[in-house]
Amino acid sequence: MHVLSEAGRFTTPMPGESRHWVTHLRTEDLSVGTYSVPLDGADLQQPHTEDEIYVVISGRAELRTPTDSVAVGPQSVIYVPAGEPHRFVNLTEPLTVLVIFAPPEGSRQ
């Protein structure tokens, strides 16, 4: 067992950065991290080569893909398949999202 005590806590990006990412766990089969976007920030992520599960811890926004858009807030859980373009837009509150990648982020090229 491994308790991820820092997971899901908002972290402020460094000056000049629009968002912040922290990896909390990386194993052979998955990785877990926290993605933080302040109200004045921007989600600039590119499609990932791994499947993702997003669990919104706090904040409100819209998650947009080329074919769909959904409002998200605390307790929203969203699956995004590998390769699907997506980003959080129209934030109305700072966003904190727990992200689970399977296999681990960046492990497929």
Q: What is the pLDDT of residue 10?
A: 96
Closest C-alpha to 102, from 26, 5, 43, 38: 26
Buried b (16+ CB within 10 A) or exposed e, 49-70: ebbbbbbbbbbbbebbeeeeee
Beta carbons of 93 and 65 less than 8 angstroms apart: no
pTM of the prediction?
0.93
Domains of the chain (ranges, CATH numbers)? 20-102 (2.60.120.10)
Q: Read off the pLDDT of residues 75-107 as tens digits, 9 standing for 90 and up.
A: 999 999 999 999 999 999 999 999 999 999 988
| Structure confidence at residue 106 (pLDDT) | 87
Q: Has residue 109 got a pLDDT over 90?
A: no
The pLDDT score that the predictor gives to residue 57 is 98
C-beta separation of 96 from 43 below 8 A: no
- Cα 89 from Cα 54, distance rounded (Å): 15
